[in-house]
Amino acid sequence: MEGSDRIGSGSLGNYSLRSDSPASSFLECLEAGPARTVLGHLLDRPHVRTLLAQRETHVPLELVARLLEDVAQAMRGVFERFPESRFLAGHFARSLEATRQGTWRVKIESSTGADSVLEARHVVLALGARQVRTEALESELIPDVRLGDRWAQRVMLSGELLSTEGRLKLRRALERAGSRARIVVIGSSHSAFSSAVTALEVAQGLPLQREAITIAYRNRPRVFYPSPEQARSDGYREFGPEDVCPRTGRLHRLGGLRGDGRELCRASLGLGGLAPDERVRLTALRTFHEQPQVLRELLESATCIVPAFGYRARTLPARDGQGDPIRLGAFGQRRLVDAASRVLDSRGRVVPGLMGIGLASGYLPEGEASFRGHTNGVWLYQNDTGATLLRGIGV
């Protein structure tokens, strides 16, 4: 079931960005094993050929979104061959109610406004994620300094900035500010560095001054490398054995920056002989602990402040078999699911029959022991997470 009429690409096509995964990770499903019989015909599509020609590069997400829409259409064709399956586009799930028989009743509203109910033994939540503005405003950057104190008007969440409208909005603000333009990005993840890359692109042709963009982080950014040896030869030494994935030998496999954000970070850290971009400054929030006034002045001078504090998985209002409300996705580190992709309630207990997948769901594949947080990507859904879901459902 998909709420909108556009199926397959979800929110990925909304980001005016290049992918952080190489094109090959999206193409693998067309070429690998049995999926080829269902999806192989897509290899002839012109935009897929464009992706094939750039296999090892990071590609525009708009192009990836078109591929994902094609894949979804092909999968829809498969469902339609089986009378027990149905594909509902333009149908929005409103709530979940557990029955005393151990099934779930899903209340649905169609785009025409018609209500209906589906009953199922298993429900997989794949609703995507959102950024919560109030959380960003209320979160303490350093003791006693919050964006909500007096800078809420200048805050643009990273997800907004990375969209086409967000870019236009930032461009107008930078034009108005002229040589006084300043951008403060807060965070050190993929979204934070993608926001800084986007700001540099948006500012093309404008007189952006030295250190006009500050990336202020709580946790030092981590850079992905295929191996510790490659990291050392690049000049990167900020790691230990706990940062290496035991299965693949990759460094910061889960938590490391990739794609354009990685390149900006490498340059900012002076790695690989790259010259830093003088318009960008990296700084730790902890350096402001002794002088909070300096941080306040920085925020005061900002044309735009971009908190990149991650996402929260979307859920649905739910009730258990007794009719009592269950809060989904509110457990520790914002996890929606456990290692077996089973949805957790606010006390960390498994909610029987509910599974989850997607951005910010909190599924953790094997990787470096030091990793804290969330990781996700289309390849993972089509591989590890997909397999875990099928096992959970008993397929």
Closest distance between ligand FAD and the C-beta of residue 207, in Å? 28
Where does 145-274 show beta strands of DSSP type E?
A: 145-146, 183-186, 213-217
126 binds ligand FAD (CB under 6 A): yes
Closest distance between ligand FAD and the C-beta of residue 277, in Å? 20
Q: Which of 24, 47, 85, 93 binds ligand FAD (CB under 6 A)?
A: 93
92 binds ligand FAD (CB under 6 A): yes
Q: Which of 261, 353, 358, 367 binds ligand FAD (CB under 6 A)?
A: 358
The conformation of residue 251, written as its DSSP 8-state character, comes to: B
Part in contact with ligand FAD (CB under 6 A); list of ranges 42-50, 125-133, 172-180, 211-219: 125-133
d(CA 87, CA 73): 10
- Provide the 3-class DSSP secondary structure of residue 217: strand
65 binds ligand FAD (CB under 6 A): no
2 binds ligand FAD (CB under 6 A): yes
Nearer of residues 27 and 127 to ligand FAD, judged by Cβ: 127
Q: Which of 52, 62, 103, 128 binds ligand FAD (CB under 6 A)?
A: 128
Token pair listed for 255: 């938590």
Please say whether the dihedral angle defined by the alpha carbons of residues 255, 261, 264 and 266, taken in this order, is positive or negative.
Answer: positive
Name which of 216, 224, 212, 154 is nearest 183 in CA terms.
212
The conformation of residue 247, written as its DSSP 8-state character, comes to: T
Residue 118, strand partner residues: 106
Q: Which of 154, 222, 314, 342 binds ligand FAD (CB under 6 A)?
A: 314
Nearer of residues 142 and 264 to ligand FAD, judged by Cβ: 264
189 binds ligand FAD (CB under 6 A): no
Closest distance between ligand FAD and the C-beta of residue 127, in Å? 4
Q: Binders of ligand FAD among 4-23, rule CB under 6 A?
A: 4, 10-12, 15, 17, 19-21
Part in contact with ligand FAD (CB under 6 A); list of ranges 124-132, 282-290, 298-306, 337-345: 124-132
Nearer of residues 111 and 287 to ligand FAD, judged by Cβ: 111
Q: Which of 63, 123, 127, 251 binds ligand FAD (CB under 6 A)?
A: 127
| Strand order from edge to edge, sheet including 325-326 | 115-120, 104-110, 91-98, 318-319, 325-326
Q: Which of 60, 276, 292, 377 binds ligand FAD (CB under 6 A)?
A: 377
C-alpha 158, offset from chain centre: 11
- The residue behind tokens 């990925």 is 12
x-marked contacts with ligand FAD along 190-229 as a string, rule CB under 6 A: -x--x-----------------------------------
Residue 286, strand partner residues: none
For 371, half-sphere exposure in the C-beta direction (CA atoms, 13 angstrom radius) is 25
392 binds ligand FAD (CB under 6 A): no
Name which of 352, 339, 335 is nearest 384 in CA terms.
339
**What does the DSSP assignment read for 53-101?**
TTTTSEEEHHHHHHHHHHHHHHHHHHHHTSTT----BSEEEEEEEE-TT
Q: Which of 72, 162, 245, 264 binds ligand FAD (CB under 6 A)?
A: 162
Token pair listed for 209: 């001054």
Nearer of residues 68 and 295 to ligand FAD, judged by Cβ: 68
Please say whether the dihedral angle defined by the alpha carbons of residues 36, 42, 44 and 49, taken in this order, is positive or negative.
Answer: negative
d(CA 285, CA 278): 20
Tell me the residue number closest to ligand FAD, measured at CB: 10
Binding site for ligand FAD (CB under 6 A): 1-4, 10-12, 15, 17, 19-21, 92-93, 126-128, 162, 191, 194, 314, 358-359, 376-379
